C-alpha cells in the first residue's frame, strides 16, 4: 500500500457548493437628493474620488453636502482648503444652505487650511500635514479643495514623477485609514488622458454648465465609479437653498406597479361626457384633451378636478400658462369651489413657469406634490406651456421626457388629464403637433365647426385604450356650469371634423341667438 503523501495527509478544504462570499462594499450617502440613486446606492466607502468641473458648477457645494451628511464627532470630516475659496467666504456662503449644520462645525466638520504648506513647502510636506491631521482625527471623510492647487507647483516644475508618487501615497494612506476621499478641482475633460490622478481615482464625478441659447443648465456625469453600477449619461442638477439636487436621466423609468385589473371609472364632472366615455375615465389612465384656444380645455380640466374633489380624491393642477388665481376665479364662475380644497390640503395648484426648467425637475415637483397630499388626479395645463417653461436644451427631447413623466405618474396610481393646444386648420383633424398621442391612453378632441352661420364647438372621444367609447361627435357650449354637452349627435352634416361640414339633411328654421354664451373669466 502506498504511503500517503503530505498533501494527502493534510486535510484539504472540501469543495463546497457555497463559494466564499465576496466583500460587501458599504455605500455612504451623498446627502444630495437623487444622487444616491444615480450612483447605484451611494458612494463606495473608503473610495478615492474626484469632483471635477469648471468654476461655478457646484463642486464645493457638493463636497460640503457629502461632508455634512456623513460627519459625526466620532468620525469627523476633514475639509482641507488650499488657496481656493477663502475659508471665511466658504463658511459665509455655505451656511446659507439648509444642509449646513452649524452644530457640526469644529467637531464633526473640521476645516483646515493647507495654503501655507502648499505655498512654502513641497508635496512631501503637504502629505505629512494631511497624514498628521488624519491620524489625529480618524475621519470618515476627507476633502481637499482645491486639489489642483496642491499639485500646481509640481505640475509647473514638470515634476510628473513627484506628483504621481504623491497621489499614489495619498490615495494609499487615506484608503488605509478607512477614509472616503474627495479631491475637488477645476479640470478640463481633455486633461483626463494624461493626468495620473484620473487613473488612481475610484470615482470621477464631472460637473458642468451647459449653455443653450440664453439658458444655462447644470449637469453631472459619473464618468467612473469602481465596484458598482451607476446610471450613465448626463443628469440635470440644480442648486437651491437645500444645496444640490440631482435628477436622474432615468427618473420615472423605475417602478413596476402595474395598473390594477379592475379599475374604477372616474367621473369627468360632465355627465354626458361620462356617458360618451363608457362611464367615465379609467382610473390610472392618461387622457389628452386637444383643441384650439378657447374651446374650453382648461374648463374641462377644472371640472375633472372638481369632480374628483367631490368624491374625496385629492388633486394636483400643474399649470404653466394661467396663474392659480385665474384658475380659482374661473372655477367659481362655474360654481366650483377650488379655494376650500386648497385651504384644507386636498388640492394643490402648482404654478411652474421659469424658463429653464427640466422635465425631471417638473416631474419631481409634481411627484412630491402627489406624495404630499396623496393625489389621485392630476391636470397638466398645458403641454405647450410646459414645453415653453423648459430650458431650450430640454425641448428637443420633450417627447421622451414626457413619456417618462406620464409613466412615472400613472404608475404612482394617478389619473392624468393633459391639455394640448392644436391649431384648427379647417381642412385637417390633427390631434397634436407633438405626436405625443401615443403616450396617452385616451384622447378627446375639441374643435370649432362652422354650422348654420355660427362658429360652434364640438368634441369627440377619439381613443380610449381601456374600453369602448361613443363615436359620436357632440356639440357643446361653455355656460356658467362649465362645459355642457348639448345636442345628441347630428346626422345632418358630414365633414364635421374638417370644421366646415356640409349639410346633408334639411335646413331647420334659423333662429337668431338671443345672447352670447356667458364668457368665462
Total residues contacting another protein (rule CB under 8 A)? 18
Q: Tell me if residue 251 falls in helix, strand or coil.
A: coil
Determine the Cα–Cα distance for residues 211 and 391; give it in Å rounded to an integer.
10
Is there binding between residue 467 and another protein (CB under 8 A)?
Answer: no
Question: How far apart are CB 52 and another protein at their closest, in Å?
Answer: 24
Question: How far apart are CB 95 and another protein at their closest, in Å?
Answer: 6
Question: How far apart are CB 94 and another protein at their closest, in Å?
Answer: 10
Which lies closer to another protein via its Cβ, residue 106 or residue 374?
106
Which lies closer to another protein via its Cβ, residue 91 or residue 234?
91
**Host H or E run for residue 206:** strand 203-212
DSSP string, 99-116: T--GGGBTTTEEEEE-HH
Which lies closer to another protein via its Cβ, residue 108 or residue 378?
108
Is there binding between residue 113 and another protein (CB under 8 A)?
Answer: yes
Which lies closer to another protein via its Cβ, residue 132 or residue 487?
132
* φ, ψ (nearest 5 deg) of residue 194: -100, -10
Q: Tell me if residue 153 falls in helix, strand or coil.
A: helix
Which lies closer to another protein via its Cβ, residue 64 or residue 218?
64
Which lies closer to another protein via its Cβ, residue 99 or residue 386?
99
Which lies closer to another protein via its Cβ, residue 87 or residue 388?
87
Distances (CA, A) of 514 to 271, 458, 509, 511: 26, 20, 15, 9
Considering only 56, 72, 106, 293, the residue that binds another protein (CB under 8 A) is 106
Contact 184, 201 (CB under 8 A): no
Binding mask 73-92 for another protein (x = CB under 8 A): --------x----xxxx-xx
Q: Which of 493, 482, 491 is nearest to 519 (CA)?
A: 482
Determine the Cα–Cα distance for residues 249 and 394; give it in Å rounded to an integer.
12
Which lies closer to another protein via its Cβ, residue 39 or residue 109?
109
Considering only 68, 97, 111, 476, the residue that binds another protein (CB under 8 A) is 111
Is there binding between residue 107 and another protein (CB under 8 A)?
Answer: yes
Instruction: Mark the segment that binds another protein (CB under 8 A) among 110-118, 288-296, 317-325, 487-495.
Output: 110-118
Considering only 25, 112, 200, 231, the residue that binds another protein (CB under 8 A) is 112
Question: How far apart are CB 78 and another protein at their closest, in Å?
Answer: 11
Considering only 115, 159, 165, 497, the residue that binds another protein (CB under 8 A) is 115
Determine the Cα–Cα distance for residues 60 and 94; give it in Å rounded to an integer.
9
Which lies closer to another protein via its Cβ, residue 84 or residue 280?
84
Question: How far apart are CB 116 and another protein at their closest, in Å?
Answer: 6
Which lies closer to another protein via its Cβ, residue 110 or residue 235?
110
Is there binding between residue 492 and another protein (CB under 8 A)?
Answer: no
**In Å, how far from its chain's centre is CA 67?**
24
Question: How far apart are CB 404 and another protein at their closest, in Å?
Answer: 41
Pairing state of beta strands 180-185 and 281-282? unpaired
Q: Tell me if residue 483 falls in helix, strand or coil.
A: strand
Considering only 95, 325, 425, 492, the residue that binds another protein (CB under 8 A) is 95
Is there binding between residue 116 and another protein (CB under 8 A)?
Answer: yes
Contact 215, 394 (CB under 8 A): no
Is there binding between residue 102 and another protein (CB under 8 A)?
Answer: yes
Contact 226, 43 (CB under 8 A): no
Dump strand ranges (E) for 250-324: 265-266, 281-282, 286-291, 315-319
- CB 104: neighbour CB atoms within 10 A? 17
Determine the Cα–Cα distance for residues 149 and 268; give it in Å rounded to an integer.
63
Q: Tell me if residue 67 falls in helix, strand or coil.
A: helix
Grid cell, residue 441, equals 391612453
Question: How far apart are CB 459 and another protein at their closest, in Å?
Answer: 60
Grid cell, residue 294, equals 378657447
Is there binding between residue 147 and another protein (CB under 8 A)?
Answer: no
Which residues of this chain interact with another protein, rule CB under 8 A? 81, 86-89, 91-92, 95, 102-103, 105-107, 111-113, 115-116
Amino acid at each position: 500500500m502506498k504511503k500517503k503523501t503530505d498533501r494527502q495527509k493534510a486535510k484539504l478544504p472540501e469543495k463546497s457548493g457555497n463559494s466564499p462570499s465576496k466583500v460587501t462594499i458599504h455605500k455612504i450617502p451623498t446627502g444630495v437628493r437623487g444622487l444616491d440613486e444615480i450612483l447605484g446606492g451611494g458612494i463606495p466607502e473608503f473610495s478615492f474620488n474626484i469632483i471635477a468641473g469648471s468654476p461655478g458648477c457646484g463642486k464645493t457645494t457638493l463636497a460640503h453636502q457629502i461632508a455634512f451628511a456623513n460627519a459625526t464627532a466620532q468620525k469627523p470630516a476633514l475639509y482641507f482648503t488650499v488657496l481656493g475659496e477663502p475659508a471665511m467666504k466658504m463658511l459665509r456662503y455655505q451656511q446659507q444652505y439648509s444642509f449646513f449644520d452649524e452644530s457640526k462645525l469644529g467637531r464633526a466638520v473640521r476645516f483646515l487650511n493647507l495654503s501655507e504648506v502648499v505655498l512654502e513647502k513641497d508635496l512631501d510636506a503637504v502629505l505629512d500635514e494631511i497624514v498628521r491631521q488624519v491620524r489625529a482625527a480618524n475621519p470618515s471623510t476627507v476633502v481637499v479643495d482645491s486639489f489642483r492647487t496642491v499639485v500646481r507647483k509640481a505640475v509647473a516644475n514638470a515634476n510628473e514623477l513627484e506628483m504621481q508618487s504623491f497621489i499614489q501615497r495619498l490615495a494609499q494612506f487615506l484608503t488605509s485609514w478607512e477614509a472616503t476621499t474627495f479631491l475637488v478641482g477645476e479640470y478640463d475633460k481633455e486633461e483626463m488622458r494624461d493626468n495620473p490622478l484620473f487613473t488612481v481615482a475610484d470615482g470621477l464625478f464631472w460637473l458642468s454648465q451647459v449653455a443653450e441659447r440664453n439658458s444655462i443648465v447644470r449637469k453631472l456625469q459619473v464618468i467612473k465609479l469602481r465596484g458598482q453600477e451607476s446610471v450613465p449619461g448626463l443628469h440635470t442638477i440644480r442648486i437651491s437653498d437645500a444645496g444640490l439636487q440631482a435628477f436622474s436621466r432615468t427618473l420615472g423609468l423605475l417602478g413596476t406597479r402595474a395598473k390594477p385589473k379592475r379599475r374604477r371609472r372616474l367621473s369627468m364632472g360632465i355627465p354626458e361626457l361620462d356617458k360618451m366615455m363608457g362611464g367615465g375615465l379609467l382610473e390610472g389612465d392618461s387622457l389628452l384633451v386637444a383643441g384650439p384656444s378657447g374651446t374650453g380645455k382648461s374648463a374641462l380640466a377644472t371640472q375633472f378636478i372638481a369632480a374628483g374633489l367631490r368624491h374625496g380624491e385629492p388633486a394636483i393642477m400643474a399649470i404653466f400658462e394661467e396663474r392659480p388665481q385665474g384658475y380659482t376665479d374661473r372655477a367659481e364662475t362655474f360654481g366650483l369651489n377650488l379655494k376650500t380644497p386648497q385651504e384644507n390640503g386636498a388640492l394643490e395648484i402648482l404654478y411652474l413657469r421659469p424658463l429653464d426648467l427640466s422635465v425631471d425637475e417638473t416631474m419631481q415637483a409634481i411627484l412630491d406634490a402627489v406624495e404630499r397630499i396623496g393625489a389621485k388626479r392630476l391636470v397638466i395645463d398645458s403641454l405647450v406651456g410646459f414645453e415653453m417653461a423648459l430650458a431650450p436644451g430640454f425641448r428637443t427631447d420633450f417627447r421622451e421626457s414626457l413619456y417618462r413623466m406620464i409613466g412615472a405618474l400613472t404608475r404612482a396610481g394617478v389619473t392624468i388629464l393633459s391639455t394640448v393646444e392644436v391649431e384648427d386648420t379647417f381642412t385637417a383633424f390633427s390631434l397634436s403637433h407633438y405626436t405625443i398621442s401615443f403616450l396617452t391612453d385616451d384622447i378627446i378632441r375639441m374643435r370649432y365647426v362652422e354650422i348654420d352661420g355660427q362658429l360652434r364647438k364640438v368634441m369627440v372621444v377619439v381613443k380610449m385604450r381601456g374600453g369602448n367609447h361613443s363615436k359620436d361627435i357632440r356639440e357643446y357650449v361653455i355656460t356658467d356650469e362649465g362645459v355642457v354637452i348639448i345636442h345628441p349627435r347630428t346626422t345632418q352634416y358630414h365633414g364635421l371634423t374638417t370644421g366646415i361640414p356640409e349639410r346633408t339633411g334639411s335646413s331647420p328654421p334659423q333662429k337668431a341667438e338671443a345672447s352670447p354664451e356667458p364668457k368665462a373669466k
